[in-house]
Structure 1
């Protein structure tokens, strides 16, 4: 009997601390916040040597160490299939060439993914549908909606897939955030918020704080006053240690900054050194225990309220 590629993906190693919920991601993250837990987000799924970005096999490798949120990139093929890929072109991350939006799904599946060191792997580009199905009972996905993808249509696809309990939509503008929110009354939305005025604009337009993730940017300098304001307003706080802080850690070996960021109010820390950041933060928290408790308390809440 032939076994489909996706069936094999489903059989990958189980998550060490699965996030399994039937409520929206922001509700789950508020539960973790109440337990003083900062959740690390694997940027582009957490690539490492041998594990390319935006690959389900990479997601399984990331989750084998503990609970993580996974940030992934969404684009469309020439025939409209939602797939996970960061770049507009195939050249850097696959064995193929050319533009993704000029390549159909069947052709894309003939190519293999390449890791960040340029090494070819046995893995293929997954569809968003496959990733959403695989994530069930394992983790929460942040969907970075790339240019050219209609965010309202993408949101409706997530809802039709029955996956709004494990996927949040990333918007780059207030207009896109509102379009995603209007497409479904329960979807969690991540959007840049760097001031009280931006938060007021979103709330005045009808986007409730309890389904917002505030992306506060990527910086070498912590922003504790902003994070405190957002926390007081009941908004999940996300920050990126990408590039600047991660590079400093890689050069110095001093990981204490990750714990300090958690102590200053970051709820989600997006990092390219995801396992290192997790170990540093977990030294003074119990994410595994909090995930188990939040899964037990929120697992049967449901999103149709």
Structure 2
């Protein structure tokens, strides 16, 4: 059977980026590092570009060569190597979940926190089932009704990270006020239920919710929405940008820092959490009339 070239996953990309960063910090070239661990050919280059697997023991060997002795770093990167082939629950939906979307779900499931600016839709982790179905159907114009239903199930299943045992995901979402005024003509109750969902989930201690008011001063969110996944220990954060055909990722530390700084300014321009909940409650009450 011919060798199958591994498809770069977000876990392998994060690991490769981290190993490349530590190699550069040690002042070593690909050739000198490969020689240091007795590797021949382009193996290390392929690992750093997420084109090849690496064993946890090999990760430890490289880090030792680079002078990285922090046990937290060794354990974290070794765990990432071990999990790079791990399949998640979303593999059950492989027929409808694209590789890019699978990468995002993998990121979300590994993350310690997610900071998101949502100018167009309620974030997926906060959507009701009905809202998810309607918005997926509107955006995924080439999908069948069965595929839309399956994608809505996936979106609901993702929300388990907010209540997972041993450490729920910390979610900080800033939603533009215009999103809260959206209406579904055929099913007007959808938005009312969605507003109530926001009020309910905001009671979780790991969820921070803010609304960007229509009258807000200019802020970096004008460039579009994004989500920033944060990871424990030494692992670098990853930014996700979504569009109609999938998602792209920003993984370089300097580029990620741009989005982290932008999110701080977005937060500063948004309503406080108390004012946000008061506005959502007001809109939910109004929707009943």
TM-score (norm 2): 0.27
Task: Pick the structure with more helix per residue.
Answer: 2
TM-score (norm 1): 0.26
* Higher RCO (CA 8 Å, separation ≥ 6 residues): 1
